Amino acid sequence: MTLPALRARETRQRILDAARTVFTREGYGQAAVEAIVVEAGISRGAFYHHFAGKEELLRVLLDDHLRGEMMELRELGRGWSVREIIEAVVAYQIEHLRSHLKGDLSLEFWAEAAREEWVRDLVADFHRRARDGFATMLRLGQATGAIRSDLNSEAAATLLLALFEGVSVLQMLDPDEFAAEQLSEEWASLIERLILTQGGGDIEAFRVLFSGSTEGVLAPATEDDA
C-alpha cells in the first residue's frame, strides 16, 4: 500500500472513530459534522473527501457493528461441548448488554430508528442479517447432528435474536430487576432445550463449522463504500 493510500485509510478510520464518539455523546440527531471534524482533528474538506455526510457515516458504523459481532461470535465456537458454546454465546450477549448500559452506540441506533424511516430500514436490515447469520450456524450444526434436524433454523434464529433484544430492552429500562447475569443459567438452558439433539452429534465437526459459519455472511467494507 502506498503512503497516500495508507494516510487516506487512517483518516477515514479517524472520522469513523470520531463519529462514534460524537453520536454516542450528543445523539445522532444533535450531532453536527463540525463536531466530528473537531473530534477527528481534520479539515472539513478531508471529511467530505471520505463521506457525503452523517447518513453515510451511520450506515458504515452499522455495517461495521454487525460485521464485528459476527466475527466475535465465530470465535465462540471453540468450546468442548455444545453447551459450553451456548454458554459462551450467552456470556458474550451479557457483555454486550453491559456496553449498552455504558452508552454503547447501539442504543443510538435504536433511538434514531424510532424517528427516521431510513434508519429504521437500516436497523431492520441489521437484524435480518444477524438472523441469517444465526440461521446459518444452526443449519451447519444440523449437518453434524448436533442440532435438532426437525428445527426450523430461520424461526429458531428469529426467536433467539428476539430473546436477546427483549432482555436488552428490559435491562435498559430496569437494570436492577432484569440483570442479565442473573438470567444466564436459565438463558443457556432455554437455548439448549430449543436447539440440541439428544445424542449431541459430532462436536468436533460442529466446532469447525461454527467457527467458519460467519464467513461470507457479510461482505467486508471497502474504501469504495465511502
Q: What is the CATH number of the domain that holds 84?
A: 1.10.357.10
Tell me the CB-side half-sphere exposure of residue 16, using CA atoms within 13 A. Answer: 19
Count of structural domains within the chain: 2
Does residue 224 lie within any of the structural domains? no
Domain that holds residue 198: 55-218
The reply to whether 109 and 11 lie within a common domain is: no
- The larger pLDDT score, comparing residue 194 to residue 106, is at 194
Note the pLDDT of residue 114: 84
The reply to whether 156 and 108 lie within a common domain is: yes
The reply to whether 68 and 156 lie within a common domain is: yes
Return the DSSP state at 147.
B
- The larger pLDDT score, comparing residue 19 to residue 137, is at 19
Percentage of residues of the chain with pLDDT beyond 90: 23
Question: What CATH code is carried by the domain that includes residue 24?
Answer: 1.10.10.60
Note the pLDDT of residue 136: 85
- The larger pLDDT score, comparing residue 149 to residue 75, is at 149
- Confidence band (pLDDT; 50, 70, 90) for 103? low
126, 110 contact by CB (below 8 A): no
Average pLDDT on 136-162 reads 89
- Confidence band (pLDDT; 50, 70, 90) for 45? very high
The reply to whether 34 and 118 lie within a common domain is: no
Note the pLDDT of residue 155: 95
Does residue 197 lie within any of the structural domains? yes
Contact residues for 21 (Cβ-Cβ < 8 A; gap 6+): 39
Average pLDDT on 105-122 reads 81
- What CA–CA distance (Å, rounded) separates 225 from 220? 10
Contact residues for 89 (Cβ-Cβ < 8 A; gap 6+): 73, 76, 191
Note the pLDDT of residue 217: 41
What is the overall mean pLDDT for the chain?
80
- The larger pLDDT score, comparing residue 196 to residue 17, is at 17
Tell me the CB-side half-sphere exposure of residue 25, using CA atoms within 13 A. Answer: 11
Average pLDDT on 80-107 reads 73
Does residue 195 lie within any of the structural domains? yes
pLDDT, tens only, 50-85: 999 998 998 898 888 777 776 776 666 555 677 787
